[in-house]
Amino acid sequence: MDEELTGTDRAGLLLLAVGQDYAAKILKELEPKEVQLLGMAMADVKNIQAETVEQVVEMFLEHIRNQTAIGLNSDDYLRNVLTEALGEDKASSVIDRIFLSRNSRGIEQLKWMEPRAITELIRLEHPQIIAIILSLLDPPQASAVLGFLPENMRGDIVMRIATLEAVQPDALKELDAIMERQLTGNSNLKSSNIGGIEKAAEILNMVDSNVEVGVMETLEERSPDIAQLIQDKMFVFDDLVQLDDRSIQTLLREVSTDSLLLALRGADEALKEKIFNNMSRRAAEMLRDDLEAAPPAKLSEVEAAQKEILSIARRLADAGEIALGGGGDELI
């Protein structure tokens, strides 16, 4: 099989192979972010040989034949798979979010809404409710909503996200009332772990730099310790130097030359060299020349390009295609 095909590419190819009707039914069951990724993969399919399509379909059928747990106890199966893939601590957080979202149609509906519309819906609610809602959204969407909220609210919201540990059934009922949706009616709901330092850092990683600075200043005034914990978890553009060579190469295949050229204007020399060393000699020379000849750029444009590349890196990391912390040799 073509070694350039990623797992997402194969999934997109499979959807094209099964036909429009089946593909539409499958896409209806996916998260918005997953639909977007698969849509991009399907749009990028070009010059694929029939043999490759057959191999992808055969791989899928073989995988299905081996998954005897499907349809029997899917919750246990999902929990076991995620625990094996992510480790017990991280898997527990992900599982809580999955099961909570499954029981909350309101949250699922929010995930399809524009950030500004979400902001209008929640901006007058209690800050704790807003923090819970942002914790349940994907970081890019949550960061956009945070940016639309009044500046004097942002620090408080992020502080509440960072200190969230569990959501009690009563809080979920209040959230449900806001969304004008009902949960499953299960009175035996357990507390769900959401929020926390990592979630706050993920959201701040996605916001504009002026929003990030204002929020961090507020956090440092209210709780220097929490502010430092969040700062330690935030992954900035220059941290890409920590990626192993294979991850850098995978990332570069997803990034446009224009975005890379703009983002590198404000990068450390170590990161520039890391990127040059993972390109062909000719491509590296051309990029060096372009950097030297490029006219001055606005800081906001450079930061926007860097955030775009960071967003791609996180998407690839979520898909298991790169390792943000290095250790690419362990990927399969």
- 103-233: what fold? Annexin V; domain 1 (1.10.220)
Q: Give me the pLDDT at residue 177, please.
A: 61
Backbone angles phi, psi at 206, to 5 degrees: -95, -15
pLDDT on residue 274: 92
Q: What is the mean pLDDT of each run of 10 residues along the chain (332 residues)?
A: 68 77 75 75 71 73 56 57 62 58 58 80 82 83 89 90 74 62 37 66 75 84 86 79 90 91 88 92 91 86 86 80 56 30
pLDDT of 249: 92
Q: Which H, E and C letters describe the chain, residue by residue?
A: CCCCCCHHHHHHHHHHHHCHHHHHHHHCCCCHHHHHHHHHHHHCCCCCCHHHHHHHHHHHHHHHHHCCCCCCCHHHHHHHHHHHHHCHHHHHHHHHHHHHHHCCHHHHHHCCCCHHHHHHHHCCCCHHHHHHHHHHCCHHHHHHHHHHCCHHHHHHHHHHHHHCCCECHHHHHHHHHHHCCCCCCCCCCCCECCCCHHHHHHHHHHCCHHHHHHHHHHHHHHCHHHHHHHHHHCCCHHHHHHCCHHHHHHHHHHCCHHHHHHHHHHCCHHHHHHHHHCCCHHHHHHHHHHHHHCCCCCHHHHHHHHHHHHHHHHHHHHCCCCCCCCCHHHCC
pLDDT for 214: 84
pLDDT of residue 79: 66
- The confidence score (pLDDT) of residue 255 equals 92
Cβ atoms of 279 and 255 within 8 Å: the answer is no
What is d(CA 276, CA 281) in angstroms, rounded to the nearest whole number?
A: 8
The dihedral built from the CA positions of residue 181, 186, 187 and 191, taken in this order, carries a sign that is negative
Residue 19: what pLDDT? 74
pLDDT value at residue 285: 92
pLDDT of residue 84: 65
Domain boundaries, the chain: 7-66, 103-233, 237-330
Per-residue confidence (pLDDT) for residue 157, from 0 to 100: 92
pLDDT of residue 201: 81
Which CATH code is given to the segment(s) 237-330?
1.10.220.30
0.75 surpassed by pTM: no
